[in-house]
């Protein structure tokens, strides 16, 4: 049994891949960034180079025939950009991966989404999983929501959608570096006297 981790050449996917491999799980990483894929291979990880905007088939690599579970971390994550780019990376890629999962008969499909699909320019407290989703604020939120619908529309792949918030750690080039830069230039604001809540 193998677990396929998409977005393995990205921040979250590489950490998921490393964690699975460290636990003794047979993990295959799927990524596009040549330099980062080569570094992962040099570290002993099993990597398949593929752009999920193109269909995925087990004939691409014999190791794909062993995949029983998928953790889909790959995405274009940005507040700005062209709709076509978000559609290719977040919707088409997810549709292609779900098609592969269905043909492969996977026992679990974990889709990493984003709390951006729930974001609204107002306070939202006590949200539950069945809360109404507001109108998307940008192309990223719109396409991540569409990807969730694709995944959840396939009960035979046993889908699970996660919306992690504020992911940071070793190798983070986005969140923590920005906070550190801001803190060096001025004190960080304390919203609502430190009583603001997020989860």
Task: Report CA dihedral (33, 36, 42, 45) to the nearest 10 degrees.
Answer: -80
In the block, residue with structure tokens 């690599």: 61
pLDDT higher than threshold 80 for residue 24: yes
For the stretch 55-102, pLDDT in tens is 999 999 999 999 999 999 999 999 899 999 999 999 999 999 999 999
Please report the pLDDT score of residue 64 as a whole number: 97
Q: What is the mean pLDDT of the chain?
A: 93
pLDDT higher than threshold 90 for residue 36: yes
In terms of Cβ atoms closer than 10 Å to its own Cβ (0-12, 13-18, 19+), residue 169 is: exposed
Q: What is the pTM of this model?
A: 0.91
How many other β-carbons are positioned within 10 Å of the β-carbon of residue 174? 12
Q: Domains plus CATH for the chain?
A: 2-194 (3.40.50.720)
For the stretch 96-142, pLDDT in tens is 999 999 999 999 999 999 999 988 888 888 888 888 888 999 999 99
- What is the maximum alpha-carbon separation in the chain? 57
| Direct distance between the N- and C-terminal alpha carbons of the chain, in angstroms, rounded to an integer | 33
């Amino acid at each position: 049994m193998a677990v396929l981790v998409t977005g393995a050449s990205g921040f979250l996917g590489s950490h998921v891949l490393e964690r699975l491999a460290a636990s003794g799980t047979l993990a295959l990483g799927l990524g596009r960034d040549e330099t980062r894929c080569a570094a992962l291979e040099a570290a002993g990880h099993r990597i398949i180079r593929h752009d999920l905007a193109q269909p995925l088939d087990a004939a691409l690599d014999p190791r794909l025939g062993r995949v029983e579970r998928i953790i889909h971390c790959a995405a274009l994550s940005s507040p700005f950009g062209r709709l076509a780019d978000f559609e290719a990376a977040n919707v088409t890629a997810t549709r292609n991966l779900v098609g592969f999962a269905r043909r492969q008969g996977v026992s679990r499909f974990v889709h990493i989404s984003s709390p951006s699909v729930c974001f609204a320019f107002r306070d939202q407290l006590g949200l539950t999983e069945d809360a109404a989703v507001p109108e998307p604020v940008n192309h990223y939120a719109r396409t991540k929501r569409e990807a969730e619908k694709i995944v959840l529309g396939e009960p035979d792949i046993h889908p699970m959608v996660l919306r992690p918030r504020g992911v940071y750690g070793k190798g983070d080039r986005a969140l923590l570096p920005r906070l550190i830069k801001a803190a060096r230039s001025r004190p960080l604001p304390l919203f609502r006297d430190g009583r603001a809540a997020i989860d």
